[in-house]
Structure 1
């Protein structure tokens, strides 16, 4: 039986095709079942950015089967942390949530060379987020 996750995290960007998918991929990969991971977009794209998929594959994280999802109030309400990455005013706000805004370049339309540093910055921020979640979960 899996333990109850220490927290639930929702990553949000406009198209849910690059930044939020990479962040969700890293969090699921690095935290495992310790954290419940979601991602969504205010205007979801048809597919995940192929350059983001390849950049993640380079570091051993497979997001090829991920699909962009529409942002819902229910997803925000069900999350302890809501991390936005340029979703503008489209993100609903509920009291009691931890909101973080990560200012990251948008990988949309960018080649692999441009996506790699975005990926690496996301990994660094996700690693710090895991440390924060673990710290808050300590009795």
Structure 2
């Protein structure tokens, strides 16, 4: 068997061009392939249609479509920390109230009082929550 295997030559009946073609096809495992861009690919067309359908459902989404009961408790707690009772407050109103509270509690203006620092920390977190809420819903004039 060893003698037979040593004498056997797979390429013996092939021309030089056929051997070159075999070597080139060996790179891709002798599978048929298509040139890039030569044929349309339905996968990308279908994926594009699906994504357009999904995102088109969000067109026209505005504040009026949000159910008031879906406003998060985190948002309502943040309003309470800053001292605002109106859920439909504008971002400008939140900012002005926030600035006023920060001036009252900031260590540079009233000294280092541990209670004030804790309150200031809560106010900063509340403002961050309100700002994120505004940014996520992209309201032009309200939070």
The alignment's TM-score, normalised by the length of structure 2, stands at 0.27
Which protein has the larger Cα radius of gyration, Structure 1 or Structure 2?
A: 2
Q: Which has the higher contact order (CA 8 A, sep 6+)?
A: 1
